[in-house]
Amino acid sequence: MTRRGLLLRRLRLAFGGGPALVSLVILTLVLLMAVFAPLLATADPTAIAPADRLSGLTIEHPLGTDAYGRDVYSRVLHGARVSLLVGAGAALVSVAVGLVIGVFAGYFRALDSVIMRTMDGIMAIPSILLAIALISLTGASLLTVLVAITIPEIPRVVRLVRSVILNVRSEAYVEAAITLGSPVRRILLRHMVPNTVAPLIVQGTFVFASAILTEATLSFLGAGLPTEIPSWGNIMSEGRSYFQLFPGLVLWPGLALALTLLSVNVLGDVLRDTLDPKMEKRT
């Protein structure tokens, strides 16, 4: 069987049933929620209606309204947009930047120790705290929050890419290419970088989940996205004061967040086992 045929078969096996399929369905629903949020929403997620505040469950507001009278159902729908956007943005940027830095560290030995020690240093700072520091310096906007979430993710990608490059470096075909005098650019792009694709897809999935979690955590703490953006973290943060009377203000966005993260993590596990059975289990 060809390599591609084998991969397809493994993917089909993995998604044949059980948790992976359920996760895929949930994630598709969240994606649809995000894409069609303006159509599915019953109200403007940011429209303030003081007369309707904390309405509880009504026909007009299926999940009630928050302290400003905004429709919680519509806000949770729009929250899917923010989360997926932040997750995808952070995953793409950290993979791209990490790939470049990792290739440099792995291939040009002179740079290796400087780069890797810096990465060790960044990794020793808990990621939420690093993000908090960056945001408190730059002020909170979608862009700065995205940057602050992405930076702590980069070292993990760099480590991964570097280890792949170091492994591949001693392969016969790379040694042959070097001996034949192929230009460095060609060796890197043609012989080395393609090897990083499979692990990077898996790592990208985990960065995606981790970025969504970090954004929600930061926003929940009040140190994340500006409060006018309806992200799940922000909705929960604003609902906290009313939790004892209206637990739904916190629990609904929390449920959406938890289900999304759960699905992405399950899919990440499945992808890892499928694309790269040799790769070490995530710890």
Partner 1 sequence: MLPYVLKRVLSAVPVMIIVAVVIFALLRLTPGDPAAILAGNDATGEQLAQIRESLGLDEPILVQLATWCKNIISGDLGVSLLSGVPVTKMIADRVGPTLALAVGTISVTILVAIPMGIVAAGRLGGYLDRIVMALSVLGFSVPIFVTGYVLIYFFSLKLGWLPVQGYRPPSEGLFPFLQRLVLPVLALSGVYIALVARITRSSIIEVLGEDYIRTARAKGATGRRILLRHALRNAAVPIVTIIGIGIASLITGVVVTESVFNLPGLGRLVVEAVLARDYPVIQGLILLFSFTYILINLVVDILYTVFDPRIRY
Question: What is the size of the binding site for partner 1 (CB under 8 A)?
Answer: 46
- Nearest distance, CB of residue 283 and partner 1, angstroms: 6
Q: How far is the CB of 237 from partner 1 (least distance, A)?
A: 9
Does 21 sit near partner 1 (CB under 8 A)?
no
Residue 255 lies near partner 1 (rule: CB under 8 A) = yes
| Residue 50 CA, distance from chain mean position | 35
Q: Residue from 220, 225, 229, 270 that binds partner 1 (CB under 8 A)?
A: 220
Q: What is the 3-state secondary structure (H, E, C) of the chain?
A: CCHHHHHHHHHHHHHCCCHHHHHHHHHHHHHHHHHCHHHHCCCCCCCCCHHHCCCCCCCCCCCCECCCCCEHHHHHHHHHHHHHHHHHHHHHHHHHHHHHHHHHHHHCHHHHHHHHHHHHHHHHCCHHHHHHHHHHHHCCCHHHHHHHHHHHHHHHHHHHHHHHHHHHHCCHHHHHHHHCCCCHHHHHHHHHHHHHHHHHHHHHHHHHHHHHHHHHHHHHHCCCCCCCCCCHHHHHHHHHHHCCCCCHHHHHHHHHHHHHHHHHHHHHHHHHHHHCCCCCCCC
Q: Is 281 in the site for partner 1 (CB under 8 A)?
A: yes
Among 159, 191, 269, 274, contact with partner 1 (rule: CB under 8 A): 269
- In this complex, which beta carbon is closest to partner 1, that of residue 97 or of residue 251? 251
| Torsional sign, CA 250, 252, 253, 255 | positive
Report the residue number, 134 or 188, with the smaller CB distance to partner 1: 134
250 in contact with partner 1 (CB under 8 A)? yes
Q: Which is nearer to partner 1, 51 or 137 (CB)?
A: 137
> What does the alpha-carbon distance between residue 221 and residue 231 come to, in Å, rounded to a whole number?
13
> What is the CB neighbour count within 10 angstroms for residue 46?
14
258 makes contact with partner 1 (CB under 8 A): yes
Binding region for partner 1 (CB under 8 A) out of 30-38, 95-103, 187-195, 250-258: 250-258
* Residue from the set 84, 101, 211, 213 that interacts with partner 1 by CB under 8 A: 213
By CB under 8 A, tell whether 236 contacts partner 1. Answer: yes
- Smallest gap from Cβ 272 to partner 1, in A, equals 13
Task: Output the smallest distance, CB 19 to partner 1, in A.
Answer: 8
Residue numbers 55-94 binding partner 1 by CB under 8 A = none
* 213-to-51, 84, 204 alpha-carbon distances in Å: 33, 11, 14
Quote the least distance from Cβ 264 to partner 1, whole Å.
Answer: 8
Q: State the binding string over 105-144 for partner 1 (x if CB under 8 A, else -).
A: ------------xx-xxx-xxxxxxx-xxxxxxx------
Instruction: Give the residues lining the site for partner 1 (CB under 8 A).
Output: 19, 117-118, 120-122, 124-130, 132-138, 209, 213, 216-217, 220-223, 236, 243-244, 247, 250-251, 254-255, 257-258, 261-262, 264-266, 269, 281, 283
